Chains A and B, each alone.
Chain A
Amino acid sequence: GENVEQHPSTLSVQEGDSAVIKCTYSDSASNYFPWYKQELGKRPQLIIDIRSNVGEKKDQRIAVTLNKTAKHFSLHITETQPEDSAVYFCAAYGDMKTSYDKVIFGPGTSLSVIP
């Protein structure tokens, strides 16, 4: 069945360093890969997404790369700041407009940025 693995489950970095979170998916029909950030006690919020026709996408300090052949995608955060501390969830599913695919989330990565 569909599955999304996410590693590492916890990550601690020094402020200013980079952080990388990796996700692997099983359903080859998946073509939409968003990343959500959930700060403690708050709702998840989309921070970046990528579609299967693109290999990389950047938004300021955040970037996502996709390797569709290997079925994995990664979140890269550069120059980390304390406010980047949160749980990050990846997801993988299809974006067919004629139906609705199950949204499969990874188990999450708790990122701590140490000042």
Chain B
Amino acid sequence: KAGVTQTPRYLIKTRGQQVTLSCSPISGHRSVSWYQQTPGQGLQFLFEYFSETQRNKGNFPGRFSGRQFSNSRSEMNVSTLELGDSALYLCASSFAGPGEKLFFGSGTQLSVL
């Protein structure tokens, strides 16, 4: 069974640009959640999607958005990039979400110059 796949693996952008990250969950998993990982802040919850609906979101500005498609694949978008957005972005999938084991992808390393 294929694991959680995130693309691209690395991204370099400049301030003001926008970026889209992709996450393909494990087959059969309908919940996809996103996290920002930085050395100083650990893992910060961005949002979670289930059956194309966002069920909850973390404390991030509106520049961070996401969506989920009918095949459970999810995308995350960051608009008007800032230097502080440089981080590893991880997605995780689970069958239904709450209280289940999260399977993480390898992440997308975003560098904003």
Give the interface of A toward B (CB within 8 A): 31-32, 34, 36, 42-46, 49, 51, 89, 93-97, 99-108
Known: A89-B43, A103-B45, A108-B42. A94 touches B106 (CB 8 A): no
Pairs A-B, 9 closest by C-beta atoms:
A95-B99, A100-B55, A105-B43, A43-B104, A107-B42, A32-B99, A95-B98, A100-B56, A46-B101
Assess whether B66 is interfacial by the CB under 8 Å rule. no
- B42 and A104 form a contact (CB under 8 A): no
Bound: A89/B39 CA distance, A: 13
Total interface residues on B, using CB and 8 Å? 26
A99 touches B42 (CB 8 A): no
Contact with A along B3-31 (1 / 0, CB 8 A): 00000000000000000000000000001
Shortest distance in angstroms between A35's beta carbon and chain B's nearest beta carbon? 11
Closest chain B CB from A105 CB (angstroms): 4
- A46, A102, A108, most chain B CB atoms within 10 A: A102
Q: Which residues of B contact A (CB under 8 A)?
A: 31, 33, 35, 41-45, 48, 50, 55-58, 90, 96-102, 104-107
* A94 touches which of B33, B48, B57, B98 (Cβ 8 Å): B98
Q: Is the CB of B56 within 8 A of A101?
A: yes
Q: How far, in angstroms, from A102 to B58 measured CA to CA in the complex? A: 7
Q: Chain A residues near B104 (CB, 8 Å)?
A: 43-45
Q: B98: which of A32, A89, A107 is its contact (CB, 8 Å)?
A: A32
**Which of B56, B90, B101 is within 8 Å of A34, CB to CB?**
B101
